[in-house]
Chain A
């Protein structure tokens, strides 16, 4: 799509099959007193997608979610839901529902009453019969049939999580907001719930917006991830895009694992970007992000891109194996290069079957294929 078309779509021309975003942030900032929690957030949330805000605590991801829910009013900028400006619309008037981090289920109500709470608030009133049917269906969806009369405190953490989901989806919101919904669950249950969340989203076709600090969760669930840092959006993209084309060290580091080597970037005679490291080492790499033509930068290489060999490699680097961690399908090696220092390399199981693998203190050589190294901003 060319930029003109996307501009027209942005301005509200929904003709010619363009899809209107279900929600949108336009230059949204939020400050709490002196603290800038969110700065100039601009983002379109497409109907039916699964979008995640990813970042460490305090990066503004929860503030962004709470502005969509209506619990926080932006200091500047516009929040749009379904094409309408909702900056000053109270939460109870917005067609969105939220799953809270600690679920915030009503302890004085039964499971069924929790789930029907939203429907019972509707005016004009919904018929009892209809409410009952919808609640039954919602509980069926989250596999809690038969738990209608239970009290909240009689339910396990995973079950409470499902009640919270049912309480939100029963209202058929335009946008389902999830604030670290799986953080309180143990690892195994979290995996299960991740799969259920994904199934649920596909089944219902509701737009999901998830806030998480867990990169694995964001990668496995999302259609798109919005990486945040210190109140700003750093990069938005599909999980694969973020992994393969991180625009900064921050993203490369947060999404997956990578080796970083600091140095100075320059453009060689052939017009290719190269990074010069201390000790006279130089590497070619693909420059990504808004990188200055010269100056401080870093090289990023994913561990699985690094080839480890017993035989000297042409153009390779000589290293000493320091540590070996068997991870099942992979073996992770920590090797040390005289100049680069520690380097992590991931050897697939396949290449090691039958072989004993490298042992500690063994001499080895590493290299990586052309195009595997990225040159990027250091932050």
Chain B
């Protein structure tokens, strides 16, 4: 067997998997998006751009997703970074493992159950009742964009913590000493050494969380109460309830296109931030 054949053999299982589970379904979705809805639902073959012309009907879903997904990513990053920093840089190595396990403990229970817990916490008898008891007035938390934001940040925080933790943990601590030795106070060292060197971790975490958030539907369903819905909710509705497969496919294709564009732009941005760092600061 030649080296070339062996290489093919090694990638064959993954290639087969991706072909059957990714390329085929995506092709089906793409083809369906140019079709029409049958009288009893489902799909009737056709070639029309009608479904794409109808996309504005789902504008709100796109709007919610495109506001709350980046916002949720940003919030998760801002919360995860200090936590990851504390764990990676400041924590005694013998506690690290235990604390890291604690970060992923929530994953041991289904997100469904945990979201139900949040329904209670944010619902009438939870935090709003507490605020009312304190005489601060009547607030609605559940079924608001804010509730959805809390839910997604809560759900995806561990995914953000880990990549940042890894990049900070790998950071050579002698670089921090070198910075201090060269006269940089702790804050300057943080922004000039720690932050730049943890950018790869932050970028990975943000990418991971953002992509998953774009397809999220469970948290908006439970904590948004049908008022704050994502594209994911629109898809569930179109495919399972109204059985409009053609329009659902068009919405799905649109989501994929948006994601491809944003992720590409994002990656370009990160790459540029990384390589141009010295050009910018070269005296």
Residues of A that sit less than 8 Å from B by CB: 69-71, 90-93, 96-98, 100, 102, 104-110, 112-113, 116-118, 121-122, 128, 131-132, 135, 148-149, 151, 167, 171
- Contact between chains at A112 and B283 (CB < 8 Å): yes
- Contact between chains at A104 and B183 (CB < 8 Å): no
19 new A-B contacts at CB < 8 Å, known A98-B178, A121-B182: A71-B181, A90-B180, A91-B180, A92-B180, A97-B182, A98-B177, A104-B172, A104-B178, A106-B178, A107-B175, A108-B274, A108-B277, A109-B278, A112-B278, A118-B182, A132-B283, A135-B283, A149-B278, A171-B183
Q: Is B218 an interface residue (CB 8 A)?
A: no
Q: Is B144 an interface residue (CB 8 A)?
A: no
- Contact between chains at B174 and A110 (CB < 8 Å): no
Q: Is B193 an interface residue (CB 8 A)?
A: yes
Contacts between chains A and B (CB distance < 8 A), count: 81
* List of B residues within 8 angstroms of A122 by Cβ: 183
- Contact between chains at A106 and B177 (CB < 8 Å): no
* List of B residues within 8 angstroms of A107 by Cβ: 175, 197
* List of A residues within 8 angstroms of B93 by Cβ: none
Q: How large is the interface on B (under 10, 10 to 19, 20 to 34, 35 or more residues)?
A: 20 to 34
- Contact between chains at B197 and A108 (CB < 8 Å): yes
* List of A residues within 8 angstroms of B181 by Cβ: 69-71, 91-92, 96-98
* List of B residues within 8 angstroms of A112 by Cβ: 278, 282-283
- Contact between chains at B177 and A104 (CB < 8 Å): yes
Contact of B177 among A71, A96, A149 (CB under 8 A): A71
- Contact between chains at A100 and B283 (CB < 8 Å): no
* List of A residues within 8 angstroms of B177 by Cβ: 71, 91, 98, 100, 104
The distance from the CB of A313 to the nearest CB of chain B, in whole angstroms, is 57
Q: Is B196 an interface residue (CB 8 A)?
A: yes
**Which B residues from 129 to 174 make CB contacts under 8 A with A?**
172, 174
* List of B residues within 8 angstroms of A91 by Cβ: 177, 180-181
Q: Is the interface of B mostly helix, strand, loop or mixed?
A: helix
* List of A residues within 8 angstroms of B175 by Cβ: 104, 106-107
Closest to A105 in B: B178
Contact A121 to B281, CB < 8 A, known contacts A71-B177, A100-B178, A102-B174 = no
Contact A121 to B193, CB < 8 A, known contacts A91-B181, A92-B183, A149-B282 = no
The distance from the CB of A262 to the nearest CB of chain B, in whole angstroms, is 43
* List of B residues within 8 angstroms of A128 by Cβ: 283
The distance from the CB of B63 to the nearest CB of chain A, in whole angstroms, is 38
Q: Is B13 an interface residue (CB 8 A)?
A: no
* List of B residues within 8 angstroms of A93 by Cβ: 183
**Which B residues from 234 to 283 make CB contacts under 8 A with A?**
274, 277-278, 281-283
Q: Is B179 an interface residue (CB 8 A)?
A: yes
The distance from the CB of B30 to the nearest CB of chain A, in whole angstroms, is 41
Closest to B199 in A: A108
Which 10 interchain pairs have the tightest Cβ spacing?
Answer: A118-B182, A121-B183, A110-B278, A104-B178, A104-B174, A91-B180, A92-B180, A108-B196, A121-B184, A98-B181
- Contact between chains at A100 and B174 (CB < 8 Å): yes
The distance from the CB of A181 to the nearest CB of chain B, in whole angstroms, is 13
* List of A residues within 8 angstroms of B278 by Cβ: 108-110, 112-113, 149, 151
19 intermolecular pairs with C-beta atoms under 8 Å apart: A70-B181, A71-B180, A91-B177, A91-B180, A92-B182, A92-B184, A93-B183, A100-B178, A102-B174, A104-B172, A104-B177, A104-B178, A106-B175, A108-B193, A108-B274, A113-B281, A113-B282, A131-B283, A151-B278
